Amino acid sequence: MIHKEITDKQWKSTEKYLPKHARAGRSRCDDRTIINGILFVLVSGSRWEELPEKYGSKSTAHLRLQD
């Protein structure tokens, strides 16, 4: 199975619906990277433990999906 990531066009139309980054506190992980990681797991049927490092933290991706 080939996994495709979000295209620039898809990202541009999706980005506006995401919450803005907070000015204070811990910096937020890159939304596009995390969303691509979530899609990787959902499309491939992989477990969160198998998420490649290029998609960021497994726990962050899982928590974002739950939100």
Helix/strand/coil (H/E/C) assignment for every residue in 2-66: CCCCCCHHHHHHHHCCCCCCCCCCCCCCCHHHHHHHHHHHHHHCCCHHHCCHHHCCHHHHHHHHH
Instruction: Kindly report, residue by residue over 3-56, the tens digit of the pLDDT.
Output: 689 999 999 999 999 888 777 888 888 999 999 999 999 999 999 999 999 999
Read off φ and ψ for residue 46, nearest 5 degrees.
-70, 165
Instruction: Kindly report, residue by residue over 33-47, the tens digit of the pLDDT.
Output: 999 999 999 999 999
pTM: 0.85
Output Rg (C-alpha) for the chain, integer angstroms: 12
- Taking the CA atoms of residue 57, residue 65, residue 29 and residue 34 in that order, the dihedral angle to the nearest 10 degrees is 70
